[in-house]
Structure 1
Amino acid sequence: MRLKVVRVVTASYVVPWHLHNTLMRISSDFEVCVVGMDVSKNQNSYPHVKFVDIDINRKTSLSADFLALFALCRFFLAYKPDIVHSIMPKSGLLSALAGFVCRVPIRIHTFTGQTWAAKKGLSRHFYYFLDRLINALNTVCLTDSFSQSSFLRDYKISNSGCPLPVLSKGSLSGVDVERFNLSTLIEPGNKLRCELGLDKEDFIFSFIARKTRDKGAIDILKAFSSVSAVSQKAKLLFVGPDEDGEIERLRETAPELFSNVVDVGHVSNHEVYLAITDVLCLPSYREGFGTIVIDAAAMGIPTIGSDIPGLIDSVVNQKTGMLFSVGDLDELTKLMLTCIAEPLMLTQMGQFAKSRVTEFFTADKLYTALKEFYLECALDNHTTCKKIGALS
C-alpha cells in the first residue's frame, strides 16, 4: 500500500509551471492526486495522476472561498489522504483549514514568497496573520529558499523557533535539464525569433512572469525605456499573463514605454523564449525562489534580479547574474546597459550559472529530497508509519 499524497494548488496553470517535474516522477513512489481550479485540463499530460477540480479562486470572495473549503473537506474525508501538500497563498490557507478540520495526518505547505511583504497598512497585517495561521495549522511548513526561511523567522513564522526547512538547496521542483537544454532549442528559437520580428543582432532582455507590480512588470518597462533610448539594438521580450489588465491600461496611457517591446501573453513553452534571450530580468518586490531564474541558468543565461529574499538564493551576485536594490530603476537601467557593453562578462556568468544548476538544482535532486521528506514525515506520524514498509 502506497502513501496517498494530495497536492493542492489554485489553478490549472500552476500544474505545468510548478508541479511538472514532481508529477513526472512521483507516481512510482506514491498515489498522488492534484486538486485545484480546472486542474483536470492536465489529465492527458499526467495519466498516472488523479485530478480533482475544486474552484479555488486566487482573488478573495467569502462565498466562493467557503464553498471551496467545504468541497476540500468533503474530498479529504472521502479520499483519506496521508499527506496534503499545498503551494500558493489561497490554496495554502484553504488546504490548511480543511486538512486540520479533517485531521489529515500530515499537512504541509510550501511558502513561495509573502503576499504581505510588499503591502502596507491593514492589508499587510491581514495577510501576515493568514501566513501565521497557515504555519500554525500545518504539521510542518517548507520554503523554497533559505533566505525566505530566515526572513519568515524574523517575523515569528518558524518551526519551533528554527527557520522553516528547505528541500536540498532550494526551489520548488528543480530544473528539467533535458527540457531546458539550449543545444536542442536552436531551431525552435530561430523560428520564434523570425515570428517575433527579431534580428540576430538584437540584444534581448526577457521578463517572463505574471505582469503585476509585485513582479516588477512596471519597473522593467520603465527601465527598458531608458535602455532603449541609449541602445537601438536592445529589445525586451515581455512574456506572461496580464492578470489585472494594468499593462493594457498602461499601453493606452503611456505608449512610449512599449517601444522595442515584444509583448506576449501566457506561454507554455517559455524554454523557447529563453533560447533567444541574452539576459533574464526579474525586478520583483517579493519572490520565493524564482524558478525561472534556474530555468534560464540551465541554459547558460544570467539574471538581473532584485536583492530580496528568495532571489539572493537563486542568483549569486556577480557570478550567475547581478542583483540591485529593489525598486531602484536607475540601478536596474545601469546594470542592463552594462550587460550590453560587456558580452564576455555575460558569457562567464552564464557558464557559472549552468554549472551551479547541474550541481544543486536538477529535477532529480529536488524530487529525491521531496520523497525523503515525505517518508520522514510519515515515519514521525503513527497513523501513517505502518505504510512505509511498502515503500522501502
Structure 2
Amino acid sequence: MMPQKTGSKSTGQPRLALIVTDVYAFNVLGRGQLEFFRNQGVMLDLYCGGSKEGLAELKRRNLGRVFAIALRREPRPFWDLLALVQLVFFLTVNRYDSVVCSTPKAMLLGSIAGAMGRQKYRVALIRGRAYENYVGFKRWIFVTLDRLALASAHRTIFISHSQHEAFMKDGLSKKILPEDAVPGHGSSNGVDTSRFKPREPSEKAALRQQAGLSEDSFVIVVVGRIAPDKGTRLALKLMRALRDLPNVVCVFVGNFEDDALRAELEDADDARVRHQPACSNVEDWFALADLNLMPSSREGFGNVAIEAAASGVLTVAFDVVGLRDSVSDGISGHLFTYGDIKAVERQVRSMILRRQDLHAEGETARRWAVEHFDQQTVWSNYLSLFLPRHFG
C-alpha cells in the first residue's frame, strides 16, 4: 500500500490509525463505532492480528484499509519483534492525524512504533489489563511495560474510572494520566438500546421454548469468554450451592478458552447447567433471562452488564475493577466482595422469592443504562478525544 499524508495536507479528511492486538476488538468490541467514525468523514486505517476469517469479515465492512500485523495475545518474542518492525515501517511511511493503540500487546508495540515513526498525536486507549490480580515482581514487570507504553503516547484514555484509579495506585504519574482520562461515564462502545431492550412476555416465552427452557425456570446467564478470570468455577460453585432449587438454570453463553474448564462444565452432571457457544444474537439470551451473573475477577469495563441493564435484567457481580463502573449497586444490580459466593447465593435466593418485583427493578436498570451509556454519545466522546483538532 502506498504511503499517504495526513488528511490536512491531502483530501482534507482526518486520517485515523487504530491498532489492536486481535481483529476481535474491531469486529465485536468496535461494532458500529467504526462505521460511525467513517460516516463522520474519518479515513480509517486498521492494524491488527487475528484469524483469516476475522480479517475477511473486517474487510467486508468497508471501513478503510486493513493491515494484517503479526500480533499475538501471548508473549511470543519472534512474533512480537516482527510485529514491531511491521508497525514501525507502516507508521513511518504513513502519516496520520492521530494513532490510537489499544489492547495490551498492541498498546505497547503500537505506542513505541508511533513514537519511532514520529506520529504527531498518539493515544493509548486502555481497555483492561491481564495482570490486575498479579503481585510482586511479575506485576512490577507488567506495570513497567505499561509505563513505557503510556510514556510513548501523548494522551491516555481509560474505558472506566476504576481502571484509571487502579493505574494511579500503581504509581503512574499524573502527567501521564490526565484527570479527564475517562470519557463520560466510561465504556468502550456504549450500548445499542434498540437492540438490547425488554421484550413482551409472549416473545420471552417463545424464546424460552426455542431454547428448551420452561417458563417457570429461573434463568441465570453468564455471558462472555469461558476462562478462569471470568469466574466460571465460581458460577459452578454457586449452582452447587443452589442444588436444592431444581428450577434454577444457568446458561454459559460464550466460547471455551480453557480445556480444564470445558471438562469441568461438561462433567458437572447437572442438567441445570448448560452451554451455548458465542452467538450473534446474545440479546435474545438477555431477553429470556431473569438474572445476569458476572463472577469475574477483573474487567476493563464490563459491557455485558450494561447490555443486561438495557435489556431490563439485573446483574449480580463482584466489586472489582471495571464492574463497579458498569453495575450501579442497588440500581442496575448488586455488587459483593470478590469471591463471596455465600453473599451471592443469598442475593439470588432473595431474587427468586421476589421474582415478581424484578420487572420493575429491570425498568429502573434500563433507564440508568440509557441515560449513562447511549451509544451515539459514547462514540462522539471518543471521536472528540481521538481527533481533538477536528471534533474536539
TM-score, structure 1 as length reference: 0.89
2:184 — aligned with what? Answer: 168
Q: 1:52 & 1:125 partners in 2: Cα distance?
A: 32
**What's the counterpart of residue 288 of structure 1?**
300
Structure 2 counterpart of 1:321: 333
AA aligned opposite 2:359: T
Aligned partner of 1:54 in structure 2 is: 69
SS of the residue 2:17 aligns to: strand
CA deviation profile, 1:4-30 (whole Å, cap 9, x unmatched): 112212222222321113112100231
Q: What pairs with 1:236-385 in structure 2 (closer than 5 Å)?
A: 236-251=250-265, 255-256=268-269, 258-376=270-388, 379=389
CA change 1:34–1:193 in 2 (3 A) is farther
Instruction: Tell me: CA distance 1:272–1:365, structure 2 relative to 1, closer, same or farther (3 Å).
Output: same
Q: Distance in 1 between matches of 2:28 and 2:38?
A: 18
Q: Deviations over 1:31-70 (max 9, x none)?
A: 1122212452223652233322213111111111111111
The answer on whether the counterparts of 1:76 and 1:102 sit within 8 Å (CA) in structure 2 is yes
Paired residue total:
376
Pick one of 10, 24, 35 that aligns with 2:35. Answer: 24
Alpha-carbon deviations, 1:86-106, whole Å to 9, x = none?
221112112112112112222
Question: Which runs of 5 or more residues in structure 2 are unaligned?
Answer: 1-11
Q: Which is further off, 213-222 or 338-347?
A: 338-347
Structure 1 residues 166-186: Cα deviation after superposition (integer angstroms, max 9, x where no partner): 111110011112222334997
Q: 2:88 pairs with 73, 82, 90, which one?
A: 73
Given the superposition, is the C-alpha separation of residues 250 and 367 from structure 1 closer, same or farther in structure 2, using an over 3 Å criterion? Answer: same
CA RMSD in angstroms, aligned pairs only: 2.3
Kept in 2: contact 1:153–1:162 (CA 8 A): no
Letter in 2 for 1:71: Q
Are 1:141 and 2:156 counterparts? yes
Is the CA contact 2:306–2:369 (under 8 Å) kept in the aligned structure 1?
Answer: yes
Give the counterpart letter for 1:16 in structure 2. Answer: N
1:276–1:16 Cα change, 3 Å: farther
Distance 1:98 1:238 in 2: 39
CA shift for structure 1 position 153: 1.2
Is 1:11 the counterpart of 2:25 in the alignment? no
Partner deviation per Cα, 1:83-136 (whole Å, 9 max, x = no partner):
121221112112112112112222112222222221234322222222222221
Q: Contact 1:186–1:275 (CA<8 Å) still a contact in 2?
A: no
- Which amino acid in the other structure matches residue 262 of structure 2? E
SS in 2 for 1:207: strand
- Letter aligned with residue 238 of structure 1: F
Aligned ranges 1:222-237 → 2 under 5 Å? 222-227=237-242, 229-237=243-251
Change in 2 beyond 3 A, CA 1:137/1:124: same
CA distance in structure 1 between the aligned counterparts of 2:143 and 2:14, rounded to whole angstroms: 32
CA distance in 1 between partners of 2:338 and 2:274 (Å): 24
Deviation at 1:362, TM superposition (A): 1.0
Q: Map 1:105-254; keep pairs closer than 5 Å.
A: 105-160=120-175, 162-163=178-179, 165-183=181-199, 187=203, 192-227=207-242, 229-251=243-265
Check 1:46–1:138 CA distance in 2 against 1; reply closer, same or farther (3 A cut). Answer: same
Q: Partner amino acid for 2:260?
A: E
In structure 1, stretches of 5+ residues that fail to align are 380-387
Q: CA deviation at 1:2?
A: 1.5
Mark the CA change 1:349 to 1:329 in structure 2 (over 3 Å): closer, same or farther.
same
TM-score, scaled to structure 2: 0.89
Judged with a 3 Å threshold, the aligned counterparts in structure 2 of structure 1 residues 55 and 246 are, in CA distance, closer, same or farther, namely farther
Cα distance in 2 for partners of 1:285, 1:64 equals 29
What is the distance in 2 between the residues matched to 1:124 and 1:15? Answer: 28
Deviates more, 1:350-359 or 1:266-275: 266-275
The percent identity for this pair of structures is: 26
Structure 1 pair 102–264 and aligned structure 2 pair: CA distance change class (3 A): same
